[in-house]
Structure 1
């Protein structure tokens, strides 16, 4: 029989809790899903505890949840943000996840208004740009930002890389201490018009697409990247730096983060 240690508080300070938004997927039946690769770096390099957030609009009390989370990560996804969210037609060739749109935009908005940090990766960057009043484009069919073969196996999907230049003096440039980096990038949508109040952190080499931005509108950090720093993060100093920034925004001391 298990012994219960009631009201124990001698295990040190609790880790901050970061919500990680799921997606609606089909695996024989509808499920909530998030790739494990988004979770592991938040624990190891940001020093956080992860809470998965269902993308089920009717089940979410976003006001209550925003008051309990210390931060939020909007993950990448196989779906596109619906064009109706930013006044354009839907991009060709991509699935939609309307519940994900609803939960992401409402919860992120409440978190930002509460001064809590919010982060985005790939689709998450696109959602945050829309939240700040920006628009998206689906005109990314040149193979620059994703493999041209939609049947690419998962194991090699993120072998697709390109270079981005970091804004001199920007948050990412100061943290990474390099003028440019090579990133893994797989997406159908990208920023068309940048949202109001967002500071550009990186551009793609070649077509100049905005690849990262930051803001601090209500006292909490907002930071998003178009690429996938969660992929093979242990092999990339710049990817580890991204998750370390998340930890700093959550108030985690570097000594408590695993190397």
Structure 2
């Protein structure tokens, strides 16, 4: 029997009550299993243990998290003392990332993971994107239904002629977006023209762009494409969304009203 690929998943650090825990969002573990891989959650480890863990890895997944990369990692002081941080995760994921790339191990970076990757390779972050002039507020409403919180938030333009355009086609595309920090100065090696030296780096934005119910399937199709079989991914990518009647301004209110209507029907 063919052995399934092992994907390392660095854990976050969280205090629950008076006790410290290592935790990982279940959605990431479920997505790895849907891709027919074996997730291996790794707690905070020492520098001399990183290579030991990488010897076990066929891939590395850097997850999203409520926490942020400590600003000292990109030469800034903490501006907001309420900013959720995870220094223990920083201490080993930032040195982990260059070693992953040096080995040519596939790296899939999501949300905080992509921010970590940018910092580890020499870039910086905005500590509060919503406070930067001419930037959107990307924070999600914690009390909003999950369909709204992780629904389409804005469009992004894809760099013409780049690798991402070859994968998803023409831009702009609509994506979801839930984060407080964001990329400030993009690391030089992260520019598409220079990233060819890191053929093992993969990242997705708008991961749930075709609907939350299909996020797990999307993860499996991406894994297949990375493995060299992009036929199902290409079929999935050709799905086109019909524009919402009334445009973007009416989309969220109409969605909330519709959900409230059916909720009332359930109650009555």
Please state which band the TM-score falls in when normalised by the shorter chain: 0.7 to 0.9
Residue 70 of structure 1 aligns with which residue? Answer: 58
- Say yes or no: does 1:221 pair with 2:200: yes
Q: Say which SS state the counterpart of residue 22 (structure 2) adopts.
A: strand
Matched, 1:244 2:221: yes
Cα distance in 2, alignment partners of residues 104 and 63 from structure 1: 12
Kindly name which structure, 1 or 2, has the bigger radius of gyration based on alpha carbons: 2
Change in 2 beyond 3 A, CA 1:25/1:156: farther
Quick one: distance in 2 between partners of 1:113 and 1:253?
24
Structure 1 229/195 Cα, relative in aligned 2: closer, same or farther at 3 Å?
farther
What are the within-5 Å matches in structure 2 for residues 168-207 of structure 1? 168-200=160-192
- Displacement of 1:102: 1.3
> Structure 1 residues 247, 18: closer, same or farther in 2, change over 3 A?
farther
Query: CA 1:115 to 1:102, structure 2 compared with 1: closer, same or farther past 3 Å?
Result: same
Choose between structure 1 and 2 for higher RCO, CA contacts under 8 A separated by at least 6 residues.
Answer: 1
Q: Measure the CA separation in 2 of the matches of 1:34 and 1:168.
A: 35
| Gap regions ≥5 residues in structure 2 | 237-268
168-177 or 225-234: bigger deviation: 225-234
CA-atom RMSD in angstroms: 3.3
Q: TM-score, normalised by structure 2?
A: 0.72
Give the number of the structure whose residues are more often strand, by fraction.
1
Q: Distance in 2 between matches of 1:172 and 1:229?
A: 17
Structure number with the higher helix fraction is 2
In structure 1, the gaps of 5 or more residues are 1-10, 202-213
- Quick one: structure 1 residues 216 and 43, their matched pair in 2 at CA, closer, same or farther if it must change by over 3 Å? farther
Contact 1:81/1:97 (8 A) holds in 2: yes
Q: Aligned with 1:68: secondary structure?
A: coil
Q: Cα 1:231–1:185, aligned 2, differ >3 Å: closer, same or farther? A: farther
- 2:137 matched residue in structure 1: 144
